[in-house]
């Protein structure tokens, strides 16, 4: 079961899009503390993609934190899980309450400046199930988050995500839409994004 949007939650509209935007899901004091703790304590690592026989560095640092045994591979990059920290467990509970769903894993992303970003993709690996609920929490610098329909790029939504904002993607969003955080030439500070997910293993 998933939750209904609360009175002040935003619900961007698009065909097949099922997204709720909770502004200030984490208040600024708690978000400041979470940013500092995560920046320091997450085991940030630089991953590389093999393209045309060359290794290209992924334009962000990452860490996969999950329940024991839940490894994760995407775009040829394999992640063994790091254990949950106190901060991540606290944030997981908060995101679960908003999303009305439980999560057993989180991909942590660190965007160091405007040269970091993530290109168009969907979190549609089969191990997340056909209609995954994904809770995506932003901390630190404001960055743009774009969504566009996979089969009709004219259907596009641009959101500015601020410190403490939470995007919940669910229903057919991963099957029908793609999302990205574009690089920017504007001077921007560091941003941490946590995308909480549930890996289904039989």
Give the single-character DSSP code of 10.
Answer: B
CA distance readout (Å), 78 to 63, 91, 104: 11, 24, 17
Minimum Å distance from CB 14 to ligand AKG? 17
Q: Is 42 in the site for ligand AKG (CB under 6 A)?
A: no
- How far apart are alpha carbons 157 and 122 in whole angstroms? 15
| Of positions 67, 82, 123, 127, contacts ligand AKG by CB under 6 A | 123
Minimum Å distance from CB 53 to ligand AKG? 26
Q: Is 178 in the site for ligand AKG (CB under 6 A)?
A: no
- How far apart are alpha carbons 7 and 30 in whole angstroms? 22
User: Which of 54/192 has CB closer to ligand AKG?
Assistant: 192
User: Which of 91/181 has CB closer to ligand AKG?
Assistant: 181
The residue count for binding ligand AKG (CB under 6 A) is: 10
Of 200, 170, 197, 192, nearest to 87 by C-alpha is 192
Helix, strand, coil percent content, the chain, rounded in steps of 5: 15, 40, 40
Minimum Å distance from CB 185 to ligand AKG? 18
Give the single-character DSSP code of 85.
Answer: P
Binding mask 68-107 for ligand AKG (x = CB under 6 A): ---------------------------------------x
65: buried, middle or exposed (CB in 10 Å: 19+, 13-18, 0-12)?
A: buried
Binding mask 136-165 for ligand AKG (x = CB under 6 A): x--------x--------------------
Residues engaged in binding ligand AKG (CB under 6 A): 107, 109, 118, 123, 136, 145, 179, 181, 193, 195
């Amino acid at each position: 079961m998933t939750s209904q949007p609360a009175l002040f939650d935003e619900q961007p509209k698009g065909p097949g899009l099922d997204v709720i935007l909770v502004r200030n899901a984490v208040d600024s004091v708690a978000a400041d503390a979470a940013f500092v703790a995560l920046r320091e304590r997450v085991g940030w690592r630089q991953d590389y993609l093999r393209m045309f026989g060359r290794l290209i560095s992924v334009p962000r640092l990452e860490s996969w934190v999950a329940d024991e045994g839940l490894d994760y591979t995407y775009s040829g990059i394999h992640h063994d899980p790091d254990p949950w920290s106190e901060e991540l467990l606290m944030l997981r509970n908060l995101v679960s309450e908003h999303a009305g769903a439980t999560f057993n894993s989180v991909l942590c992303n660190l965007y160091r400046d405007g040269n970091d970003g993530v290109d168009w993709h969907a979190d549609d690996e089969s191990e997340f199930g056909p209609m995954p609920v994904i809770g995506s929490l932003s901390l630190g610098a404001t960055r743009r988050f774009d969504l566009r329909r996979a089969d009709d790029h004219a259907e596009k939504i641009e959101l500015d995500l601020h410190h403490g904002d939470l995007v919940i993607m669910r229903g057919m969003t991963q099957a029908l839409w793609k999302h990205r955080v574009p690089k920017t030439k504007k001077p921007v500070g560091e941003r941490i994004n946590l995308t909480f997910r549930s890996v289904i293993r039989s």
